[in-house]
Amino acid sequence: MSQILQTTSNIISYVSIAIICYGAALGLLKFISNEFGRFSRTYSLEKTVQIKIEVGYYLLLGLNF
């Protein structure tokens, strides 16, 4: 029984880490894309704020999972 609980706990932890890493990677890619928009004059401060919010969602989801 203890082994089953330990395995379940590890799986939940790994899924949590995967969610946080996915959100961070997605946010980083969107942020870099937005920053490159400075060269073509398509940079948006509102988009930067939205990216922060989305990364925060993934962080909260990963921590609550």
pLDDT in tens, 2-59: 999 999 999 999 999 999 999 999 999 999 999 999 888 888 899 999 999 999 999 9
Supply the pLDDT for residue 41.
85
For residues 21 and 35, the answer to whether their CB atoms sit within 8 Å is no
**Residues 40 and 50: beta-carbon distance below 8 Å:** no
* First-last CA distance in the chain: 22
pLDDT of residue 22: 97
